[in-house]
Structure 1
């Protein structure tokens, strides 16, 4: 267990140091050698964690899926499905906003790369499936009365979530936090989701 924690910590360190370098020099200009030097590790160690430099950017999605699982467990007893969804996704957004400048960089690089966008779609699909499961359970238990299928609701919520991230990335002068912006937008669409 301790070994796994150390491995995860090192992967996170490589990720954050690489993002810092990308921010300073630009993604294309940074080499694996520079990343390993900054982290104090060898290239072999780097390649144990990331197959290539581009895969560092995908770690954001992977780490968000891990956090999603933890957050779903933490909020599993929240009664109202809207509050449960908001709490879970706000945990993810809080993680995103902790390193906001670096996360903006990751988002922009993923948007520029067809390969990275395709790879990141697996994380998006996982997020969608987890939310659809939560929503389906809420409908089955009578906590949510909606004419919409869980998959449709999940797609809508995921759309709001990523709109919040993209707005933050593209419109940097916003005065509201990511979580506040998401909660406001979720309020708007929830009126169309909840049949009560």
Structure 2
């Protein structure tokens, strides 16, 4: 196994162990010492991957940026509307798999480091802007609205969907919440 893969696996192990401890004992009651002892690693190893405890929660946003790049590279869909829905659908899978993680991540992100998370949101916005612009440039999509503004609205719908789903509990379908809002907004984005 490559060294890079081992590092990636260790970071994921630290992340998942931390999340498990946060759920069990509460975020404020879990120390870095507790995390490293549970993982069986040195404190320095933890800090090599996560500069502060808060960065464990921010890791979810970073992994979503990696995921979106993988999804975009694998996609064959040419229709921009369907392409965007596929991108968002793949991103929602993370939350569907770890539903209770969402509430913890959102509350701690807001509380701890919105400045840090804003970098992930900016990257997400840039990627969506590029996807939309690419469709416009290739003639596959027409709109009277600039790609960066369309991307802003879509990022807003994405986070609104997640927050709505989080507040309602995991009983509602996250993708359905998003698709309902997406369809309403799409009518105003697409050129008639």
Taking structure 1 as the reference length, what is the TM-score of the superposition?
A: 0.93
Pick 1 or 2: higher relative contact order, CA cutoff 8 A, min separation 6.
Answer: 1
Q: Matched residue pairs, number? A: 192
Alpha carbons 1:14, 1:39 under 8 Å: kept: yes
The answer to whether 1:47 aligns with 2:47 is: yes
Alpha carbons 1:33, 1:43 under 8 Å: kept: yes
Q: Quick one: distance in 1 between partners of 2:173 and 2:40?
A: 35
Alignment of 1:71-86 (within 5 A): 71-75=71-75, 77-86=76-85
SS in 2 for 1:93: helix
Stretches of 4+ aligned residues off by more than 4 angstroms: none
Q: Quick one: distance in 2 between partners of 1:152 and 1:181?
A: 21
Q: Quick one: distance in 2 between partners of 1:175 and 1:34?
A: 32
The residue aligned with 2:151 is 154
SS in 1 for 2:162: helix
Q: 1:168 aligns with which of 148, 151, 165?
A: 165
SS in 1 for 2:163: helix
The residue aligned with 2:95 is 96
Alpha carbons 1:65, 1:126 under 8 Å: kept: yes
Q: 1:183 aligns with which of 165, 176, 179?
A: 179
Q: Quick one: distance in 1 between partners of 2:74 and 2:178?
A: 19
Structure 2 gap ranges (5+): none
SS in 1 for 2:191: coil
Residue by residue, what CA displacement relative to the aligned partner does 1:123-160 show, whole Å, maximum 9, x if unpaired? 00000000000101111122111100000100011111
Q: Quick one: distance in 2 between partners of 1:18 and 1:56?
A: 7
| 1:62 to partner: Cα distance | 0.8
The residue aligned with 2:30 is 30
Taking structure 2 as the reference length, what is the TM-score of the superposition?
A: 0.95
Alpha carbons 2:125, 2:152 under 8 Å: kept: yes
Q: Quick one: distance in 1 between partners of 2:91 and 2:58?
A: 15
Q: Quick one: distance in 2 between partners of 1:7 and 1:68?
A: 21
Q: Quick one: distance in 1 between partners of 2:6 and 2:184?
A: 42
Alignment of 1:61-72 (within 5 A): 61-72=61-72
Q: 2:190 aligns with which of 188, 191, 194?
A: 194
